[in-house]
Chains A and B, each alone.
Chain A
């Protein structure tokens, strides 16, 4: 067995040193009735070729996004990942190290976390960011829990423009804390009235920008209304590339910004692992969840980095911790950090504008198809089309023709008949103009 260095002889020598007759003797604390006498009913060990063949066969049953025109988004986006990113994250020193508990021999991890926190704070327009959480939805739930702690109130208002997975993740968390989540109905038009719902019991309002349906809103007056009533404004960003072109939440008065970082450096990977970004104001620092990396000096006066403010965390505070989180998404944060470093200011802003212009072209084209209506005026790289027919069967039919046309809203809201004809279309730098031509032709042909 290629992963096990001990030989039969080694095992005998070691057992002799221990003074045990056999391996089973080392398991003597296990009740005899629970000790298996034979291997469980699963296949025996296999070589690389056999495993590769079998798992490769499963992969081959799927239709990879890159096999044809592809326009899916709704919280996960297909962007080009520079080759250097995947090479660098597979360096042994990054891939096979643990959480940096011994900072003297983990400066590599700690420094990139510091750079990552700096990048996240800058692009969101916030003062501080943590070293990452699991994904956008869990980051959103952590943000709401933090808002409840900060305000000592019990109600969270969740916009109808917020991704339903984020809404459900928040609602699930709150349902176990006897806190209240007010889930507003799906807001396809972007005309939802949040201001009138904020009252002195409101801990926070959670909105997404751009919304699930693609609408971009100026959140300044909403932020003001929240602050007037002592509530926090939480802004979720499910397409982080948008921050290269759209005014960031921090500049519109957000108190907490959470984002899905997948778009920068991470493959679609059927939904995970992704990367939760979390940024806030400095005054809430000690209420933040998750790991934080901070700058300090070593005994020789050289700059170095450590995990810090751990008095918030579960391994110190146990049941009084700000969160139960332990693992963050270190390697995903590294991929994000490398990709954004490669992009730099010029590349990031250009990438964002490129996405937007391509999407704008596609929106104009598709919105002009007979019977099709574009629901958005302002959007980033994703927009909603109202079709004259239900979207899901059309998407299925186009998939059979090799075009993955978008996400039918009924996939996310199967019980909302008003959304049945809506199709969410995302366009990124990976889409060629030929892709857009094929999509337009396919939709026109399918109606």
Chain B
């Protein structure tokens, strides 16, 4: 048959020789069926006490028929999820230079502390006298965030970055409405995360995109031309998604304020400047902080996050419920509107915020301290600049340095090689890495965005650099087929995303009959 891999003896491909054991197993790489495909009725992984004698009071609405859940014992369940886990790449395995995502080390102390019964086994509606330590922790984290940003207030409840953006824009809209000002437009640079325009739209605004200047930054003239009495806010990411600090930010803030608008900062990249630069000194009115980026709460395969929003004096009265205040009898939680001087926008979610993430973030902050946070930011910036300097001769840097915490390249260095950014990413998988962010930001062609973070040693950075140089040389030497065939050594080869979208199969269904009730 056609040798599509370009390697004669690779044990991959449709003609893979059958292993002696279960189909698909290859040494330590074990295939794992769905839990639904291995269950037996009546088997369970938990032992529960027998039902007490008595009558049901379900109002005649007891569930009828089978649900269709599989039955697995505890050892089967443990093995199932351990096998699944081994099909993932993770920070704990190696460098994960996924730009814009900040895949830094997740200290295990933080996990331990979040699991203390005094936090983990605490109900959000217990009498306040029984949760004073929890309120104090929220208050202390808020204090650290306010000092680090030099902002007077912080809304703690948003559950993630995008949720924080929404909270920030809502406070802006509420502040404008309170002043009788019904502005309709929000300006968003085209380099922004997709969440920015999506958030502005959900907040009821028309979104206007501002093109990036030739140096990858916002152009003051282009901004000023669009500012006017109908603009409610500018949403600007700083450092921006090209990994650059917006060097005209003070003038940007002044122009935005002169037009009567608010300055929202997407704080996703706060990790580049924490402890060194305070957003409050840059004229910012509101900024969310991704605790799962800057302050290392684990990404967990995509959440949970936490996205507190720091607010300026003018926006603080509109912060959402609930919030912690100091009272004569200790800490108090304000859960209803009606406090003097406060006009909350409402509520962002159930209860009081992502407490489990708060504990982890505070533990991280205290471990680093004021000195360590600044050093961590510095090391992250140093690592990214090291990558930029050591790769600029073989890969095409989009903008000259210095960069901040991430280094942006585009696909000019792949021109005429037949290799795309996607192919390059997949080849990086075969080389043992999680790829960089690809095709984002949208302002450069075929973007490759590397964020090594402060967690990588120099040896690790040198290895990554050597790998990237080797791949760039291979692309230029015409090894296009190798790139197109990658990845070969991952648990799966390239997956057919078109098929997934055309005929969506989003859940398991039994082979025949037995539909769920």
Contact = CB atoms under 8 A, between A and B. Distances in A.
Nearest to B42: A346
A348 B367 CA distance: 41
Interface stretch (A23-31, A151-159, A223-231): A23-31
Interface in B307-360: 320-321, 335-336, 345-357, 359
A298 B495 contact: yes
Contacts of B41: 345-346
A345 B66 contact: yes
Given A34-B281, A296-B499, A121 B147 contact: no
Contacts of A399: 126-127, 129-130
Contacts of B56: 353, 356-357, 360
Given A134-B163, A350-B48, A62 B133 contact: yes
B180 interface: no
B321 A168 contact: yes
B194 A318 contact: yes
A35 B277 contact: yes
A245 B58 contact: yes
A114 B507 contact: yes
B367 A48 contact: yes
Contacts of B385: 14, 18, 20, 26
Given A115-B34, A172-B346, A247-B61, A60 B133 contact: yes
Interface residues on B, range: 35 or more
Interface string A300-330: 1110111011110111111111011111111
Interface residues of A, number: 217
B245 A378 contact: no
B91 A97 contact: yes
A273 interface: yes
Contacts of A128: 506-507
B349 A378 contact: no
A385 interface: no
Interface in B176-202: 193-195, 197-202
Given A30-B245, A248-B63, A172 B84 contact: no
B278 A111 contact: no
Contacts of A346: 41-44, 71
Contact of A379 (B57, B161, B352, B374): B57
A92 B90 contact: yes
Contacts, number: 739
Given A39-B374, A104-B493, A341 B80 contact: yes
A319 B326 CA distance: 40
Contact of A294 (B43, B136, B207, B501): B501
Given A105-B88, A111-B34, A270-B119, A314 B195 contact: yes
B411 interface: no
Contact of B499 (A59, A117, A297, A412): A297
Contact of A55 (B127, B137, B292): B137
B417 interface: no
B277 A27 contact: yes
Interface string A1-43: 1111111001101110111100101111111011110011111
Q: Which 10 residue pairs spanning A and B have beta carbons closest together? A: A378-B59, A271-B351, A59-B118, A172-B346, A331-B300, A61-B133, A271-B124, A273-B304, A342-B45, A92-B92
29 contacts: A1-B375, A23-B378, A52-B112, A62-B130, A82-B46, A98-B96, A104-B493, A109-B88, A111-B84, A117-B507, A138-B350, A169-B348, A169-B350, A175-B345, A245-B62, A245-B63, A250-B517, A268-B123, A270-B119, A270-B355, A273-B306, A298-B496, A314-B198, A317-B194, A321-B194, A330-B303, A340-B69, A343-B69, A351-B48
